[in-house]
Amino acid sequence: MKRIGLLLFIVSCYGNVSCVKQAPQLPSNKVIERNTDNEAFIKININLAKKEDSAIKLVAERMGSFKKNSNGFWYKIFLTGNGEMIKDSVQCSIDFQIFKLDNKLIKTGVERIIIGKKQEIIGLEEGLKMMHKGDSAIFIIPWYLAYGMTGNDMIPPYTSLIYRIKLRI
Q: Which residue has the higher pLDDT, 16 or 159?
A: 159
2 domain-assigned: no
Half-sphere exposure of 70 toward its Cβ, with a 13 Å CA cutoff?
1
163 domain-assigned: yes
* Rounded Cα–Cα distance for residues 34 and 64 (Å): 45
57 domain-assigned: no
22 domain-assigned: no
Q: Residue 113 — φ and ψ, nearest 5°?
A: -135, 160
CB 75 within 8 A of CB 69: yes
pLDDT in tens, 6-57: 555 555 555 555 556 777 776 666 666 777 888 888 888 888 888 888 888 8
Residues 6+ apart with CB under 8 A from 73: 123, 126, 127, 139, 140, 141, 142, 145
Q: Total domain count for the chain?
A: 1
User: Which residues form the domain of 75?
Assistant: 70-168
Amino acid at 13: C
Q: Please tell me the predicted confidence (pLDDT) of residue 11.
A: 53
104 domain-assigned: yes
110 domain-assigned: yes
pLDDT in tens, 98-150: 999 999 999 999 999 988 888 889 899 999 988 888 899 999 999 989 998 88
Q: Which residue has the higher pLDDT, 28 or 166?
A: 166
Q: CATH number, domain at 128?
A: 3.10.50.40
Q: Please tell me the predicted confidence (pLDDT) of residue 19.
A: 58
Amino acid at 139: F
pLDDT in tens, 60-109: 888 888 999 888 899 998 877 777 778 888 888 999 999 999 999 999 99
* Rounded Cα–Cα distance for residues 143 and 159 (Å): 5
* Rounded Cα–Cα distance for residues 107 and 143 (Å): 16
* Rounded Cα–Cα distance for residues 72 and 123 (Å): 8
Q: Please tell me the predicted confidence (pLDDT) of residue 36.
A: 82
Overall average pLDDT of the 153-165 stretch:
93
* Rounded Cα–Cα distance for residues 42 and 97 (Å): 32
30 domain-assigned: no
130 domain-assigned: yes
Q: DSSP letter at 18?
A: G
Q: DSSP letter at 144?
A: G
